[in-house]
Amino acid sequence: MKIHNTYELKKAVDNAVDSVKITDVHTHLFTTDFGDLLLWGVDELVTYHYLIAETMRCIDMPYKAYWNLSKKEQADLIWNTLFIERIPYSEACRGVLTVLAKLGLDVGSRDLNAYREYFRNMTVEQYIDKVFEISGVKTIVMTNDPFQDDERAVWLGNYKGDERFKAALRIDPLLNDWHNHYKRLQEWGYSVEEALTEETLKEIRRFLTDWIDKMNALYMAASLPPNFTVPEDSVRSKLVEECIVPVSREKNVPFAMMIGVKKLTNPELRVAGDSVGKGSIETVEYLCAKYPQNKFMVTMLARENQHELSVAARKFRNLLIFGCWWFLNNPSLVEEMTKMRFELLGSSVIPQHSDARVLDQLIYKWSHSRKIIADVLFDKYSDVLATGWTIEDDEIKKDVENIFGGYFWNFLERKF
Ligand code: FIX
Ligand code: ZN
């Protein structure tokens, strides 16, 4: 049906965005095969590391004392500090309230114990179904690291899987800390040594191939520091060009570079202690230009990298940019980045991923992002209509399906 006015446009955009089934290309969630690695429920939600960082700003408790508290005590402390003593309007705080509201709980009661009751008789399987239904997420991509022993054991044991959960092979230890991890590959039967001999490089390629096959990984990924540079005279640069790139091309799986993390800026905050630094767009441009048959997915953590990354994506069809990552996943920056990306790239971008670490977060991260992306799309479509161009509601539906996952699946299929 042709759209005749902004009322019909708003309705068509809201219907399409509210009903689209999402592919979430980057999360830290796990199938039930992995047991406690899958975090869920209100205490995990309230002790999300974003909220730990925000709480520790407000109290003088020694970090060590916080880490010695039980999970319930940590949640009680965070709840009291950020939700009772203050109005919870940071994005991570508001997210908790959105989850509680979407679950139909009495948010106004501010009663954490009542919220805990809700989960008392819930099984994880029931809750996975509920969260996928409420959030409108159809498929999530996990972060799977063979160097994590408890996770590795499941892959080597009786992993059954769940159609809704896909795998991504995460290789930070290999790329960022080869010196301390090459012995792991030796233990696992790969004839590597610390020096990157031809034999070692061949065996690293075999390791990557084995795990892509074992996991049926959709892509390989690594979180990389602001100074990540290729080419340079370094182990990491050699591993990228001699191992990651050839295996990525041969298996036709993208290499996802997540650039700009300053690890443990405050080590006492542990998982909450990482910060951000501007990365090198020249490295992204170099890799995309030198390896046109390879596919690269890139997200950068610094706001300062966003415009040049969008311009780089204009230059290279083998570059797919994704998400408003971590410290960028706030309404003001999601709107700014989404507008810029749609204006520079049209729909050939993945505007968002959730990065959910706790299952429940799919509900709020996607509720918040859907609204912003819908508003930006409405603006863009309105501008198009204002020229006299016509738009059909089916075209809007197709465009929305594309940006909430279709373009990602299409990118995985493409061979350059
Ligand atoms: O490297 C990553 O995948 C990051 O997303 C995480 O390490 C980070 O802690 C996070 O969850 C951010 O949202
Ligand atoms: Zn992540």
- The residues spanned by each domain of the chain are 20-387
Q: Tell me the residues surrounding ligand 2 (ion) with CB < 5 Å.
A: 355
Q: Which amino acids bring their CB within 6 angstroms of ligand 1?
A: 28, 143, 223, 258, 271, 326, 355, 357
What pLDDT does residue 127 have? 98
Angle between helices 49-56 and 71-78 (to 10 degrees): 60
Judge whether 223 and 261 are in contact, CB under 8 Å.
yes
What pLDDT does residue 182 have? 98
- Taking Cα atoms as reference points, which of 270, 271, 168, 290 lies closest to residue 219? 168
Q: How many residues does the chain have?
A: 416
Atom 2, ligand 1: which residue's CA is nearest? 223
- Cα 33 to chain centroid distance, Å, stands at 21
What pLDDT does residue 320 have? 98
- Taking Cα atoms as reference points, which of 260, 244, 270 lies closest to residue 66? 270
What pLDDT does residue 170 have? 98
Atom 8, ligand 1: which residue's CA is nearest? 326
Measured in angstroms, how far is the CA atom of residue 258 from the centroid of ligand 1? 9
What pLDDT does residue 383 have? 97
Measured in angstroms, how far is the CA atom of residue 352 from the centroid of ligand 2? 12
- Cα 253 to chain centroid distance, Å, stands at 17
Write the CA distances from 280 to 92, 160, 313, 323, integer angstroms: 28, 40, 14, 18
Measured in angstroms, how far is the CA atom of residue 216 from the centroid of ligand 1? 22
Q: What is the pTM of this model?
A: 0.98
Architecture per CATH, domain 20-387, reads as: Alpha-Beta Barrel (3.20)
Other C-beta atoms lying within 10 Å of the C-beta of residue 189: 10
Atom 13, ligand 1: which residue's CA is nearest? 326
| Pairwise CA distance, residues 128 & 32, whole Å | 9
What pLDDT does residue 120 have? 96
Counting ligands in written order, which one lies closest to the CA of residue 365? 1
Other C-beta atoms lying within 10 Å of the C-beta of residue 188: 15
Counting ligands in written order, which one lies closest to the CA of residue 26? 2
What pLDDT does residue 327 have? 98
Tens digits of pLDDT across the chain (416 residues): 999 999 999 999 999 999 999 999 999 999 999 999 999 999 999 999 999 999 999 999 999 999 999 999 999 999 999 999 999 999 999 999 999 999 999 999 999 999 999 999 999 999 999 999 999 999 999 999 999 999 999 999 999 999 999 999 999 999 999 999 999 999 999 999 999 999 999 999 999 999 999 999 999 999 999 999 999 999 999 999 999 999 999 999 999 999 999 999 999 999 999 999 999 999 999 999 999 999 999 999 999 999 999 999 999 999 999 999 999 999 999 999 999 999 999 999 999 999 999 999 999 999 999 999 999 999 999 999 999 999 999 999 999 999 999 999 999 999 99
Q: Which atom of ligand 1 is nearest to the CA of 274?
A: 9
* Residue 159 in tokens: 């992993």
Identity at 115, one-letter amino acid code: Y
| Pairwise CA distance, residues 367 & 372, whole Å | 9
Strand order in the sheet with 220-224: 169-170, 220-224, 255-259, 296-300, 319-321
